[in-house]
Amino acid sequence: MDSSPVNWEALEALIIDFAKSENLIEDSSPPSSPSLSSSPSLSSSSYLSRLIIRQIRSSLEAGDVDAAIDLFRAHAPFVLEDHRLLFRLQKQKFIELLREGTTEDRGPAIDYLRTFLAPCALNAYPEAYEEFKHVLLAFIYDKDDQTSPVANEWAEKRRYEIAGLMSSVLRAHLHAYNPIFSMTLRYLISIHKGFCFRQGILSPISELIERLLLLERDPPATPQDSLYEAQPFDEVDIQALAHAVELTRQGAIDSLRFAKGDLFQAFQNEICRMRLDAAMLDELVREYCIYRGIVESGSLIPSRVQTLSEPLKGNPSESGCYSTQDGSLDVDYSSAKWSNSETSDTTDMSSMRGTNVELRYASDPASNLEDCSTSGSHQSENLRLPRNRSHGAGERSKRKRWRGRHDELDHISDIHFNRCSKQEVSTAMQVASATISKAQQGVENINGEEKYEIVLGMKELASRGMAAEVVEEINALDPNFFAQNPVLLFQLKQVEFLKLVGLGDHSGALKVACSHLGPLAASDPNLLKPLKETLLSLLRPSEDALVTGLPLHALATSLQVAFGKRLGIEEPQLVRIMRATLYTHTEWFKLQMCKDRFESLLRIDSLKENSTPVLTSLASSKSNTESCNLGSSQVTISSTTRVSDDGGSPNQASSGDVICDENAILKVMEFLALPRADAIHLLAQYNGNAETVIQQIFA
């Protein structure tokens, strides 16, 4: 199976919005905060509110309940007015007082018990007084006694539970949701993991996403008692929410009650309960931004730097983390097996003795070009320094400075999270620096930073439509590049042809066609049709030739990926994640035989939109796109499967051409607690009759 192409422009817009929303880059313009037409009630995230929530979480995870209460009092007094939440905070404060004191010095804990905890227990909620009596056992059972009835109360894990609960409550009440990209990533990764587990296949990005999306989730915010009298919710909404974020039916109902029936707000509350490793996500975003020339690289190549001829040495931590030159964490995911082309690329790249510095990047399927990687010294023997790099100066001046999270409190890691220790990071940093210092003697004196600037310069020229200059520069650097990438050369010459037509220089345009487009099309039959369509521009007015839409941004991206790969610059890991997860998202909803209710909300539909040059798709049969070898377990979707355009259920089951009513599908899902696809397949066996299916199951 082929992985899905990624709309780089849509992805870039989301990533820039994320970086601005989280104040990671120095930029005076505000985040875009695009309107969410599918749910007008959803508001944009507030950085200040999210920062307050993170500080409260850090205080509670450290056991400093007083600091958290002070923050509540200053920024969210409604929490202290809710006796249910206040009781939980006071109960944790009581445990912390016992933890700090000695067996002989229990005075502060007893005073707090009498003054605050006992009175609150009487009015918090029905079970609160029983919990109050139970926590009193902490007086007689030691905190190190793992067999005591109050071992859970003593456990530090309880700190993280109450911190997560308060975070869930605050997010919903303050509308301090994560940026769209962060939520989209959570959702796509969770679907990807579920799809791979259900199909019994190995994910190509398993090592990466296991560290990025943490197993722990924040506890759900429970609705107030008065909301339990809310009107029944539409079963379609209940099932959509339950299966989107892996909730029980009752859990989905409670979530809808808390959101007062707003499906999209309930979904947003639930998706934000999933926890990402913030430091790792920031590094992935930084790597992407440096690769695309959005932020300055400083004296560093993006995030992960190592020599090709001599792999990074040193002992990884148990979680597989390495340190890079700048102290960021790198992840070893070399064991992932999915893409044949990726495996061969890695082998080829590591055998390139001439290229010294690798930026972790792999070919973008949007380029759909001939594989340009070679092995041995042949890879770099013809590389030459560019004659003029002045055209990249303007692009560099536009880059923003990466500032990181300097204004936050240090996050306190959960003891259950696998993180690299400071000592391991320091050791790996020294190893990385030593390794890089050994690789200072570059081929043709082109070091990693220069290669990086060269590729960005080529991208800038292509995005401006300066195709002739691009071809000239690349031929000066590597005369063999276009011989291995004829489709890319054809696309660039198309741009040159259309620009000349737009300027009225038909003679010059025909010269380009005769010298380049014709011979290239003669050697590749797939290019004949695009050649004919290109020549038709001679019949249009001059201005129309340019309007026909030169996909310059997509072409520039294809060029950046292909030429970057030629120099040993691999694609950002975020693109690998997005490509794999977008593919499984599509396949998952084929299995579910319906459209995703939330894909527009999370911009998933725009990420899948094909904005690549037309020629790219026409030549895809010749390209070495990254394929997904998912093992022996293959997903088979019947040709009769249809997905309705309005997001509802399909009118067709996957076998027997049996029409399944939406209510029948929902009934089987509800009574048998089955996924949608299984319910549809069962209905197909019994002519779409839900009652018959249920009777047969319970017979």
Q: What is the DSSP string of 138-198?
A: GGTS-TT-TTSTTHHHHSTHHHHHHHHHHHHHHHHHHT-PPPHHHHHHHHHHHHHHHHHHH
Instruction: Write the DSSP assignment of 64-117 as a string of letters.
Output: -HHHHHHHHHHH-HHHHH-HHHHHHHHHHHHHHHHHHS-SS--HHHHHHIIIII
Query: Higher confidence at residue 131 or residue 688?
Result: 131
| Domain stop point among 157, 176, 195 | 176
pLDDT score, position 278: 92
Distances (CA, A) of 551 to 365, 546, 610: 16, 10, 11
Q: Using alpha carbons only, what angle is made at residue 183 by residues 180 and 186, rounded to the nearest 5 degrees?
A: 150
Is 595 contained in some domain?
Answer: no
Mean pLDDT of 525-544: 80
pTM score of the predicted model: 0.73
pLDDT score, position 29: 66
Tens digits of residue pLDDT in 542-593: 555 554 556 788 899 999 999 999 888 889 999 999 999 999 999 999 888 8
Is 150 contained in some domain?
Answer: yes
pLDDT score, position 668: 81
pLDDT score, position 308: 30
Q: Please state, as a whole number, how many other Cβ atoms lie within 10 Å of the Cβ of residue 333.
A: 18
pLDDT score, position 405: 82
Is 138 contained in some domain?
Answer: yes
Collect all residues with Cβ–Cβ distance below 8 Å to 554 and sequence separation of at least 6. Answer: 8, 9, 366, 611, 612, 613, 616
Is 362 a residue whose pLDDT tops 90? no
Is 203 contained in some domain?
Answer: no
Nearest one of 490, 469, 562 to 533, comparing CA atoms = 490
Mean pLDDT of 615-625: 38
Task: Assess whether 453 and 567 both reside in one domain.
Answer: yes
pLDDT score, position 104: 67
Task: Assess whether 454 and 565 both reside in one domain.
Answer: yes
| Domain stop point among 125, 154, 176 | 176
Determine which of 401-410, 660-669, 688-697 has the lowest per-residue pLDDT on average.
Answer: 401-410
- Cα separation, 240 vs 256, in Å, equals 11
Is 538 contained in some domain?
Answer: yes
Mean pLDDT of 315-321: 37
- Cα separation, 629 vs 209, in Å, equals 18
Is 650 a residue whose pLDDT tops 50? no
Q: What is the mean pLDDT of the chain?
A: 74
pLDDT score, position 321: 38
> What CA dihedral angle connects 65, 70, 74 and 80, to 10 degrees?
50
Contact 459, 557 (CB under 8 A): yes
Q: Please state, as a whole number, how many other Cβ atoms lie within 10 Å of the Cβ of residue 623.
A: 19
pLDDT score, position 471: 94
Is 620 a residue whose pLDDT tops 60? no
Mean pLDDT of 144-157: 91
Task: Assess whether 67 and 170 both reside in one domain.
Answer: yes
Is 87 contained in some domain?
Answer: yes
pLDDT score, position 386: 52
Residue 674: pLDDT band with limits 50, 70, 90: confident
Query: Higher confidence at residue 602 or residue 681?
Result: 602
Residue 658: pLDDT band with limits 50, 70, 90: low
Tens digits of residue pLDDT in 415-452: 333 333 334 333 333 333 333 333 333 334 566 678 88
- Cα separation, 161 vs 441, in Å, equals 52
Contact 320, 448 (CB under 8 A): no
Is 257 contained in some domain?
Answer: no
Is 636 a residue whose pLDDT tops 50? no
Determine which of 169-173, 243-247, 341-345, 671-675 has the lowest per-residue pLDDT on average.
Answer: 341-345
Is 255 a residue whose pLDDT tops 90? yes
Task: Assess whether 452 and 559 both reside in one domain.
Answer: yes
Determine which of 38-52, 176-190, 239-253, 666-680 has the lowest per-residue pLDDT on average.
Answer: 38-52
- Cα separation, 593 vs 678, in Å, equals 10
Task: Assess whether 456 and 556 both reside in one domain.
Answer: yes
Tens digits of residue pLDDT in 25-73: 887 666 654 444 344 333 344 789 999 999 999 999 999 999 999 999 9
Mean pLDDT of 114-123: 91
Query: Higher confidence at residue 699 or residue 254?
Result: 254
Nearest one of 128, 215, 207, 217 to 167, comparing CA atoms = 217
Is 152 contained in some domain?
Answer: yes
Radius of gyration of the chain (CA): 29
- Cα separation, 271 vs 282, in Å, equals 19
Mean pLDDT of 139-160: 91
Is 357 a residue whose pLDDT tops 80? no
Q: Pairing state of beta strands 401-402 and 321-323?
A: unpaired
Domain count, the chain: 3
CA 29 to chain centre: 24
- Cα separation, 665 vs 684, in Å, equals 10
pLDDT score, position 617: 38
pLDDT score, position 193: 94
Percent residues over pLDDT 70 in the chain: 66
What percent helix, strand, coil does the chain show, rounded to 5?
55, 5, 40
| Domain stop point among 118, 147, 176 | 176
Mean pLDDT of 653-679: 71
Contact 551, 614 (CB under 8 A): yes
pLDDT score, position 483: 92
Range of the domain at 93: 63-176
